[in-house]
Chains A and B, each alone.
Chain A
């Protein structure tokens, strides 16, 4: 509708100076833009911004999920409890950072390696692209359930290790051991998520113009120099995107933990988001859950800002 009326305005006013015409055109475009944006903005306000604001308020109350008594303002009590008393929460923050610190470089790095591999002109590269991408389109819940069986004491992982080592590997229950559970979740998460970032890297690789490589070849680049001095710098925008999306995804680790370990064994895989759900819903402490999510929000925001600052273009 809006586009059609803009065209009509153009036809009706040919003698006007070009400057005016452009302005009226852009006003019509603005109206169209607003019309297209309103449904999205309304839904975001209703389902994201609204609840976020309410949870900001809830964080300072003792609200319950269900209760006959109305919530009261308790000031900073929820935050005092989180920082001073709640050992499980401290452990969860630590676990979350450890997970992110391992997963971000691993998943980003492997993604790039895979992207470089499937960017070669080799036979069956579409097959490999599909295979690497397959875990991404599989539901995380399904993947987690399957890997829970793989990691069991008599599961496939141990059978494979035992076969490779000629029976020397005795086998252990990976998810039941506090020192291996987080590692097991890291491996599985990287395997599941790496395909997605491979595609992002691949898209970045394919935006690099062929002429740059030709110029490099004329200057006698070795393959390593070509990668280090041409490919990597030109992938910078992709790098920033990959870094920030993996970091945020890694910080909000939940599904794997909820399905595979329930935060155990002995708190070794409990994460911030898992604690938020645990406290807010399972234990019905909405106020405390809201306080934890506010803390989580601040952590993620800080991380994103710091990364943005570190990776911004200096020129």
Chain B
């Protein structure tokens, strides 16, 4: 036990020294049962989200006398490092936000405790906004994000491309046939923009659903023990060759900036982008379409699971769960969606919003999310999977050998799972 703590302390020291800002986090107040509830959030860069959270905190503090909640926002770039460093030094807050795919890792690492919120409340939330690990519910999200293909009706019609619907999405052949036609007359430099300069989580969030639509996956989801055969099988190879082809035949830009910028600036005819870019795009073009992704064989797929609220292992359970109950009301779910343009997590809240109500401009995002959302693998290994997948997908995009890249990715993931004795599976 002593030795383990020494290791952890050493790791924390090294981590803090390297990440810099993480050090500041160690001095922040920690969770305890003195009636204070400390909340950490990742979104210091989005004042609108912070404002809604502050409203919840105010409402909660006004509604009872036993607990007093206080919010401490962090910049998103250093947030995960901050939380890990705080966990190592025993300084976790009571409640914190956590990105969907990290929930299994943090639950496994012992950062989080299972939620004690009644199922009447959580049952109304979209399945992909409930953060689970091995059957236990650890986190609930106010919103969901969804990717779709951003396009303009006038552009598709001019190129003679059929506009797909959720009932009849594009097939692979249709999609492959449409792309060259969109750039044929030279108006657009690129047929489709994938925001490839946005490294980090974007690669596995945005691109692994294509792999899944081809029939491959990041890991074998029956055992959660092997990527070999799934990530480098025939289906995955077909995905890799197809995806690489878009870049080598110059239909897509290898270094397109994040946030669908090539599309917004009129350099790309379409963009595969998240719904958080939808409102700016609608301001820019009056004939915006948000189209379902193509069906590559296994049905259209998009990534699921966004930022959620969780209770830490060291928190005062009663106080933290009662904060969760206040926060998860439809009113706040709707308020987050109104402020940020993200998809509200409950149907009742969706009806309260301008864009996601039954007749709203972005209603299809809710439908895409329900029909296509595929959660990233719910295993603590996801942290490594995302990093490895991102690295080798970048190799594929830049013209590396597809089979070699996928074999190497699968081998690295499997080695990590083995080194961790299966991560509890």
Contacts and interface: CB of A to CB of B under 8 A. Distances in A.
A66 B399 contact: no
A64 interface: yes
A47 B17 CA distance: 8
Interface string B393-421: 01101111000000010000001100111
Interface stretch (B1-9, B171-179, B235-243, B286-294): B1-9
B18 A70 contact: no
- Interface size range of chain A in the complex: 35 or more
B59 interface: no
B371 interface: no
B109 to A, nearest CB: 4
B395 A264 contact: yes
Interface in B108-146: 108-111
| SS class, residues of chain A in contact with chain B | loop
Given A65-B84, A66-B88, A264-B398, A173 B14 contact: no
Interface string A135-156: 0000000000000000011000
Contact of A51 (B14, B19, B109, B398): B14
Contacts of B400: 178, 265-267
B11 A63 contact: yes
Contacts of A251: none
B11 A286 contact: yes
A67 B391 CA distance: 23
Interface string A259-295: 0001111110000000001101111111000000000
A92 to B, nearest CB: 12
B10 A285 contact: no
A88 B392 CA distance: 11
B205 to A, nearest CB: 16
5 contacts: A68-B108, A264-B394, A264-B398, A267-B395, A283-B383
A280 B18 CA distance: 11
A284 B11 CA distance: 10
A250 interface: no
B13 A51 contact: yes
Contacts of B106: 66
Nearest to B12: A65
A176 B18 contact: no
Interface of A: 47, 50-51, 54-55, 58, 61-71, 81, 85, 87-88, 152-153, 173, 175-178, 262-267, 277-278, 280-286
Contacts of B387: 278, 282-283
Contacts, number: 108
Interface string B165-202: 00000000000000000000000000000000001000
B255 interface: yes
Interface of B: 1, 3-4, 6-7, 10-11, 13-15, 17-19, 81, 84, 87-88, 105-106, 108-111, 199, 253-255, 383-384, 387-388, 391, 394-395, 397-400, 408, 415-416, 419-421
A66 B87 contact: yes
A58 B8 CA distance: 10
A67 B84 contact: no
A71 B10 CA distance: 13
A284 to B, nearest CB: 6
B395 to A, nearest CB: 5
Q: Kindly name the residue among B81, B391, B399, B415 whose own CB sees the greatest number of chain A CB atoms within 10 A.
A: B391
Contacts of A175: 255
B40 to A, nearest CB: 16
B14 A55 contact: yes
A76 B105 CA distance: 27
Given A51-B10, A152-B255, A266-B399, 8 more contacts: A54-B13, A67-B109, A81-B415, A262-B199, A265-B399, A266-B398, A286-B7, A286-B14
A69 B111 CA distance: 13
Q: Kindly name the residue among B15, B384, B398, B419 whose own CB sees the greatest number of chain A CB atoms within 10 A.
A: B398
A91 B108 CA distance: 33
A70 B81 CA distance: 20
A62 B255 contact: no
Contact of B7 (A50, A71, A153, A262): A71
A69 B421 contact: yes
Contacts of B109: 66-68
A63 B399 contact: no
B7 A58 contact: yes
Contact of A50 (B13, B81, B384, B408): B13
A281 B15 contact: yes
A267 B400 CA distance: 9
